[in-house]
């Protein structure tokens, strides 16, 4: 059994990584939704997928771009995402892989 002190010292917050950290994303991946708090302690909702017990956040702009790609290529199975910029000027590019 662990003590509160042991658990506190080994505690790692549950932070979602970014979808751009994955080389390949399967379009059949299950999407989850969670609430978090920003630096101003204001609540927000984000979507993420899980892969190998890690969470990867998916910005809404990725869903929008993927929708356009799927309209032209409905049998798409995998894709990748790159990003440029930081903060509010971040832009995501969805790249079909098959």
> Mind listing the pLDDT tens digit for each residue in 30-60?
999 988 877 777 888 899 999 998 999 999 9
In this prediction, residue 43 carries a pLDDT of: 86
User: Whole-number mean pLDDT of the chain?
Assistant: 89
* pTM of structure: 0.78
CA 37 – CA 86 distance, rounded (Å): 19
Tallying the residues shown for the chain, one arrives at 98
């Amino acid at each position: 059994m662990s003590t509160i002190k042991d658990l506190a010292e080994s505690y790692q917050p549950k932070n979602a990584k970014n979808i751009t950290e994955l080389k390949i994303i399967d379009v059949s991946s299950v999407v989850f939704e969670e609430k978090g708090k920003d630096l101003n302690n204001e609540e927000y909702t984000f979507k993420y997928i899980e892969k190998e017990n890690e969470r990867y956040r998916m910005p809404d702009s990725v869903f929008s771009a993927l929708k356009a790609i799927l309209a032209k290529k409905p049998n798409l199975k995998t894709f990748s995402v790159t990003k440029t910029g930081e903060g509010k000027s971040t832009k995501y590019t969805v790249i079909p892989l098959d």
